[in-house]
Amino acid sequence: MATGELRRFDLRLPEPALCRIHVVDEHRAPIGEAEVSLRLSPATGWIWRLREKGDSNPRGRTSAAGEPFEIEVAPAHYEVIAAHSGLRAREFVEVLPTIGGEVTIVLPIGNPRGRVEGRLIEVGTGQPVAGGTILAVGGDREGITTTGATITTADADGRFVFEGLIGGRVLLTGYGPQEAGGRGASDWCTTTLSFELLAGAPFSVELPLARQLPDPEHSIAVDLRLRDRATGARLMRGAVALFGRVGRATLELGTITSSDHGVIALRIPPVESCFVSAAAPDFNGERATHRLKQTELPIVDGSIDATLELEPMKRQ
Map out the domains of the chain as residue ranges. Answer: 17-106, 113-209, 216-312
Q: pLDDT under 70 in the chain at which residues?
A: 1-13, 42-56, 111-112, 138-149, 179-186, 199-200, 315-316
Q: What is the pLDDT of residues 40-85, one digit of tens each?
A: 876 544 554 555 455 567 889 999 999 999 999 888 889 899 988 7
Is CATH 3.30.230.10 the classification given to domain 17-106?
no
Mean pLDDT of the chain: 84
Whole-number Å distance between alpha carbons of 146 and 136: 10
Torsion, Cα 123 129 133 136, to 10 degrees, reads 60
User: Architecture of domain 216-312 in CATH?
Assistant: Sandwich (2.60)
Superfamily of domain 113-209: Carboxypeptidase-like, regulatory domain (2.60.40.1120)
Whether the ω angle into residue 281 lies within 30 degrees of 0, i.e. cis, is: yes
Whole-number Å distance between alpha carbons of 38 and 61: 11
HSE-up (13 A, CA, CB side) for residue 204: 1
Answer yes or no: are the C-beta atoms of 121 and 207 closer than 8 Å: yes
Which residues 6+ apart lie within 8 Å of 309 measured at CB? 227, 228, 229, 292
Q: What is the pLDDT of residues 135-146, one digit of tens each?
A: 988 655 554 555
Q: Do domains 17-106 and 113-209 have the same CATH topology?
A: yes
pTM given for the model: 0.68
Task: Walk across the sheet containing 35-40 and list its strands.
Answer: 59-61, 35-40, 76-84, 87-95, 145-146
Answer yes or no: are the C-beta atoms of 183 and 176 closer than 8 Å: no
DSSP symbol at 161 = E
Backbone angles phi, psi at 185, to 5 degrees: -85, 60
Burial of 116 from C-beta contacts in 10 A (0-12 / 13-18 / 19+): buried
